Amino acid sequence: MKDVASMAGVSLSTVSRVVNGSPPVDPELAAKVERAIELLGYRHNHTAGTLRRASGLSSTIGLIFDDVGNPFFAAIHRGVEEVARERSVVTFAGSSDADPERERELVEGVLGRRVDGLILVPTAHDHSYLKRDVAAGIGLVFVDRPPETIDADHVLTDNRGGARAAVEHLRAHGHERIAFVGPAPNGLYTAAERLAGYLDAVAEPLVVHDDVEPLLTGPDRPTALFTAQNLVTIEVLRTLHRLGLQDTVAHVGFDDIVLAGSIEPALTVVAQDALGLGRAAAELLFSRLDGFNGRARQVVLPTRVIERGSGELQASS
Amino acid sequence: METFTPRPTMKEVARMAGVSLATVSRVINGTADVRPDLAERVQEAVKLLGYRRDLTASTLRRADRQSASIGLIIEDVSNPFFSAVHRGVEDVARPRGVLTFVGSSDERPERERELAEAFSARGVDGLVIVPCARDQSYLLRDRQAGTGIVFVDRPPRFMAGDAVLSDNAGGSRAAVEHLIAHGHRRIAFLGDRLSVFTATERLRGYHEALRGERIPELERTELADSAAGEHAVRELLALPDPPTALFTGQNLITIGAIRALRALGRQRTVALVGFDDVVLGDLVQPGVTVVAQDPYALGRRAGELLFARDPEPRSVVLPTRLILRGSGEIPAV
């Protein structure tokens, strides 16, 4: 800034006023300063400005989720970015790999870099350590899974309702022996909710947490499968195709997948709106940063069944 | 109701631990040895107060300006190809305690530049960029200022710099030669916008494979998404002399082509090879033959070059691999 001042032949405070946009400066001087900035390639240092500015905002946020490489989380990321971009806010993105320790490191890492807020797909169960940061004005929003030990805004999919709808859909096509295939909840919110939705709607529960092949090749095969997560769905599809059962065993998956409409039979899914989750989370976060100070809010997005064929196979008697 | 508590300062830590500010600083920054009992008191106070070292503040004070953050600019964070690049970069940065800013350029030059400026203004130590602008010389200033810069997927223009690329032309040549070997003499190329480096390289590979075989060129380019790809395939197959094989130059176009072929019931009669693998490519019928790149490895190599900080610009080209699954082995009729 000093270099800019000496080239423009003005005082340091004049440069500062031009750069920060207040208070107003004589247009002639302002033009000189702007020319010097252009020539010198001076760039206003955001972090330096941050520390001095009363608002204390850095226009950066942190986003932490399981894995940037999973299309579901990548879509959440895109949703967050679309909202943040309108405010010229940039995003740190990090993968916790569903490891609580790694999540904590990332949280500390982004907060140490003075983000204005944090959007978290939580893996750990205890986030009470963030109370102090929230009290100090850090925006905090949970997405996909709710917080457990801290009161914070959160955006969820109606996981339980979606799973229930999937099973009811299969029952409407004559299926009674419907297996749930998905990760064991182990405290994972979405897994527990989807399992609960399945249990709500099924007559005789048949739950598989690992390889589904023994069940499919066994004596009392289910006539339909509900797979509770995108990566599980892909694995099960491979198994069904390998065993040649794709036209025999009905299948509904939770989460849509690219090309799900192009396989045979096309895959019926319960789709959630991942982009919408990201967008809603960012909107909640920015409303906090804009000064909203009310109680924690919960936003629940609905799911929808997309019929494509695999979920409409009738139960063979 | 919780009361407002400002961020704890180093001063408060010093007061609680009953030591000097310098001692706290030494413990937190690990710059000099401190008596173990004092260090323990400081650690205790840090924990109780919830003190957090402020990396942005230290950035400003330090001569080396290491903010322990880098910026990544890709075309679209939600495109699986770029998500994998992102993951590769992250996996190199994270063990070094470095966090990654990420943004989508959406193939818009001004957006690339805005993101680069935004990341630089936040003091990033390095940038990994999938360039889309026609000219990257705007980054020379950042490099002079000490910011490491590596390009990935596409090389920079008007600026020398490290770049990690796939063998786009070679992979495409192999794909088209594969189709020729299955008897095809009418092979269409469907590609992305020709302002995109990888699109022109893949088109070049297509031309090279046709050269000498006296096979006419049949191109549809400027296809930016799967809907455009789907539409182009429908048009091509409605020609009086339609192609017997398609080579799609990008994952979204491949997805569009699969949809179009299926909708027309032509998936078993028209051959298809795609550049880039696609999810479920093994389960569609027939399975999709692809030229696979390794986007995760592209990201990793870019991250490694960034941290290696070699003064000489280097260009790394990663090979592609043809995966035969059926669609590319359909013979010409």
Q: Which of A78, A113, A237 sits opposite B55 (nearest CB)?
A: A113
Contact criterion met (CB below 8 Å) for B313 and B304 = no
| pLDDT (0 to 100) of residue A317 | 52
Q: Which has more pLDDT, B257 or A113? A: B257
Confidence of residue B3 (pLDDT cuts 50, 70, 90): very low
Best of A1, A19, A68, A101 to substitute, by most chain B Cβ atoms within 10 angstroms, is A68
User: Which of A44, A47, A77 to probe by mutation at the B interface, max B CB count within 10 Å?
Assistant: A47
Residues near B265 by Cβ (< 8 Å), separated by ≥ 6?
none
> Using DSSP, how many helices (H) and how many strands (E) does chain B show?
12, 12
Could you tell me the pLDDT band of residue B4, with boundaries at 50, 70 and 90? very low
| Mean pLDDT for the stretch of residues B159-180 | 96
Predicted local confidence at residue B20, as pLDDT: 87
Cβ atoms of residues A58 and A47 within 8 Å? yes
pLDDT of residue A9: 86
Between B7, B69, B97, which is nearest A136 by CB? B7
CB-nearest partner of B78 from A48, A58, A77: A77
The number of helix segments (H) and strand segments (E) in chain A equals: 12, 12
Q: What is the ipTM of this complex?
A: 0.81
What CA–CA distance (Å, rounded) separates B302 from B152?
6
Show residues of chain A in contact with B250, CB under 8 Å: none
End-to-end CA distance of chain B: 77
Residue ranges and CATH numbers for the domains of chain A are 2-40 (no CATH), 60-157+274-301 (3.40.50.2300), 159-272+305-312 (3.40.50.2300)
Report chain A residues whose CB lies below 8 A from the CB of B86: 68-69, 93
pLDDT at res. A17: 78
In DSSP notation, B224-278 reads -SHHHHHHHHHHHHTSSS--SEEEE-SHHHHHHHHHHHHHHT-TTTSEEEEES--
Cβ of A87: how many Cβ atoms within 10 Å?
A: 13
Q: What is the CA radius of gyration of chain B?
A: 26
**Distance between CA atoms of residues B21 and B44, nearest Å:** 15
Give yes or no for a contact between B125 and B148, defined as CB atoms under 8 angstroms apart. yes
Q: Which of B54, B122, B278 has the CB atom closest to A259's CB atom?
A: B278
Q: B236, B262 in Cβ contact below 8 A?
A: no
Q: Cβ separation of B280 and A258 shorter than 8 Å? A: yes
- CB A26, CB A59: distance < 8 Å: no
C-alpha to C-alpha distance for A293 and B94, rounded to whole angstroms: 34
Return the closest-CA partner of residue A99 out of B84, B94, B78, B71.
Answer: B94
What is the Cα Rg of chain A in Å? 26
Q: Residues in chain B, how many?
A: 333
What is the structure's pLDDT at A6? 85
**Window from A205-214, B2-11, B185-194 with minimum mean pLDDT:** B2-11
Q: Look at A71 and B78 and tell me if their CB atoms are within 8 Å.
A: yes
Distance of CA A243 to the CA centre of its chain: 34
Q: What is the DSSP letter of A20?
A: H
User: Which uninterrupted H or E stretch holds A301?
Assistant: strand A298-301
CB-CB under 8 Å, A91 with B103: yes
Contact residues, chain A, for B53 at CB < 8 Å: 112
CA distance B190 to chain A (A): 19
Q: How far apart are CA B251 and CA B277, in angstroms?
A: 7
Task: Give the pLDDT band of residue B1 (cuts 50, 70, 90).
Answer: very low
Of residues B68, B164, B81, B226, the one with CA closest to residue A68 = B81
**Angstrom distance (rounded) from CA A251 to CA A265:** 10
Model confidence band, residue B28 (pLDDT cutoffs 50, 70, 90): confident
- Give the pLDDT score at A40: 72
Give, for all 317 residues of chain A, the pLDDT tens digit.
888 888 888 888 888 777 766 667 888 888 888 888 777 766 554 443 343 344 668 899 999 999 998 999 999 999 999 999 999 999 999 999 999 999 999 999 999 888 999 999 999 999 999 998 999 899 999 999 999 999 999 999 999 999 999 999 999 999 999 999 999 988 889 999 999 999 999 999 999 998 999 999 999 999 999 999 999 999 999 999 999 999 999 999 999 998 999 999 999 999 999 999 999 999 999 999 999 999 999 999 999 999 999 999 998 75
- Report how far apart, in Å, the C-alpha atoms of B266 and of each of A100, A107, A259, B108, B188 are: 49, 51, 17, 35, 15
- From the list B54, B122, B285, the residue facing A90 with the nearest CB is B122
pLDDT tens track for B81-132: 999 999 999 999 999 999 999 999 999 999 999 999 999 989 899 999 999 9
Point out the residue among A70, A71, A113 whose CB comes nearest to the CB of B99: A113
Residue B255 and residue A259: Cβ atoms within 8 Å?
Answer: yes
User: Pick the residue with more confidence: B322 or B64?
Assistant: B322
Can you say whether the dihedral through the CA atoms of A167, A168, A172, A177 is positive or negative? positive
Stretch B274-300: mean pLDDT, rounded? 95
Answer yes or no: are the C-beta atoms of B325 and B282 closer than 8 Å: yes
Q: Which residue has the tokens 């010093």?
A: B14
Question: Could you give the CA distance from residue A115 to residue A103 in angstroms, rounded to a whole number?
Answer: 16
Contact A129 B50 (CB under 8 A): yes
Contact between B262 and A262 using a beta-carbon 8 Å cutoff: yes
Beta-strand runs (E) in A57-151: 60-65, 90-95, 117-120, 139-143
Are the Cβ atoms of A262 and B68 closer than 8 angstroms? no
* % of residues, chain B, pLDDT over 70: 93
As a whole number of angstroms, the distance between CA A55 and CA A76 comes to: 28
Contact (CB<8Å) B123/A47: yes
Which of A58, A90, A103, A308 best probes binding to B when mutated, by most B CB atoms within 10 angstroms?
A90
What is the distance in angstroms between the Cα of A55 and the nearest Cα belonging to chain B?
13
Q: Which residues of B touch A131 (CB under 8 A)?
A: 2
What is the 3-state secondary structure of A66-122? CCCCCHHHHHHHHHHHHHHHCCCCEEEEEECCCCHHHHHHHHHHHHHCCCCEEEECC
Contacts with B127 from chain A: Cβ below 8 Å: none
Residue A158 to residue A226: CA distance in whole angstroms: 16
pLDDT of residue A42: 65
Asked if pLDDT for residue B60 goes beyond 60, the answer is no
Query: pLDDT value at position B54?
Result: 57
Contacts of B311 (CB under 8 A, 6+ apart): none
The secondary element (H helix, E strand) that includes residue B323 is: strand B321-323
**CB-CB contact of A144 with A175 (8 Å):** no
Q: Residue A14: what pLDDT?
A: 85
Q: Do A90 and B103 touch (CB under 8 A)?
A: yes
Interface contact flag, B55 A112, Cβ < 8 Å: yes
